[in-house]
Chain A
């Protein structure tokens, strides 16, 4: 089947939904937008994130994942924006030709004027960590376990050790405990947690679950089902220290060891990928290296808060709308440069003009900081200084340029983002 559409959005999770609404609110007709979702319902991973904590920035109240998703799904339905579920994109090229497959439509060749990538991310697995030992049942990524508990209503384990202190791991520590499991420890390879401080407090401390920093799992035991793990402390080069090996009996090892943007489809369109974020290189419109292909949400860079996913995706939706209606002017793009403690900045490039009054930049730092400042330099001149009481690798920061600073930034050929420590802060 051949199909044409103005804006195709790959993914119907929080990013795809917000992008669709962003495009719609910019004047694109509902029937000119199509969301392609691979699951059987919209909402993406939010459906299984039944804990509260979503929406404080976006809605000024604390919602659960399904509630947050439902607000967007409702708007999409009310606007009558097109979507198809159980549909998986098999291919995308730089000409914005999409091939997708679904039980109801079969194979569809969709020609889009603009494409928004909103595929989200996936979890890192045991394979990528190369944990030695046996290969029994009972090793789950935190997200898989979360799906079993919160969507399917089944218990994946009774005595649990969690490796990695990412937010999903922390949330699952509490969730499993509430459902009657015993969470024996959360091991974190790094000397700091990559999860939010509040999640350590309310998910671990509340239930006296030990967080073992600078610890990792060095071996998995059990022939058919996990019977235990050996953990060890690691040294400053993250190598296990031999005489710290300790056996913990458990039936489940849960992994929360990082998320990877799911860019397999993007690669088909030969989109430039940032080696730090593992997502596309984008400009401030969230346009990728391929004209008319946009990216937003966790497929672009892994966020901690869905609120920022929504904000970013609405922007991508508005940008796509602008692209299909009036096009982008051919101004030169300049680079944003992460330096001195800043690991990455998104967007990586920016136009001198913007569709918004302000331009928002997202960044992550490489280690824990206290009382520092984030400095933004336009062609070497300081244009903005933001004080940070704390900055941590697990917490994505955002900084917006507006007014005079934005004017200066617009004229510059590069924008450097850097952390400043010491007295002058």
Chain B
């Protein structure tokens, strides 16, 4: 089976051509071309096996300065869990002070993934 899609790993946006057997989607069996770096190949394979995305959003913040705090997953999470993740995010409340990089939620959606703060808010 053949597939073509745009690589989202970096702003270059290479057009990736993927050839694979739907019966056997082990990464070593998937052929990738069109990528200009190894990360593209890795991305292409994960798109076939288990598509993942980094999620960014905001959570409610108790602060004098900002009403919402920008957050992100520190690693990509399963693409099909994005809306489940949003559901959890919408229920979170953080209080200032908070530093960029602080973990807001451990083992978020996938084990080993953290939801972290992206901005420092002092009060």
Contact = CB atoms under 8 A, between A and B. Distances in A.
Interface of A: 47, 50-53, 56, 62, 64-67, 70, 149-153, 178-179, 196-198, 200-202, 205-206, 304-305, 389, 395
A56 B8 CA distance: 12
A150 B6 CA distance: 27
Contacts of A179: 57, 86
A206 B55 CA distance: 12
Contact of B56 (A47, A64, A151, A395): A64
Contacts, number: 79
Contact of B66 (A149, A151, A197): A151
Contacts of A178: 55, 57, 82-83, 86
B58 A202 contact: no
A64 B73 CA distance: 11
Interface of B: 5-13, 15, 36, 53-58, 60, 66-68, 70, 72, 79, 82-83, 86, 100, 118-120
A151 B61 CA distance: 11
B70 A64 contact: yes
Nearest to A53: B11
Contacts of B15: 197
Contact of B72 (A64, A197, A389): A64
A205 B12 CA distance: 17
30 contacts: A50-B56, A50-B57, A50-B58, A52-B56, A53-B11, A62-B10, A64-B72, A64-B118, A66-B100, A67-B119, A70-B100, A149-B58, A150-B68, A151-B66, A152-B68, A153-B67, A178-B82, A178-B83, A179-B86, A197-B6, A198-B6, A198-B8, A198-B10, A198-B11, A198-B12, A201-B8, A202-B53, A205-B5, A304-B11, A395-B11
A70 B102 CA distance: 14
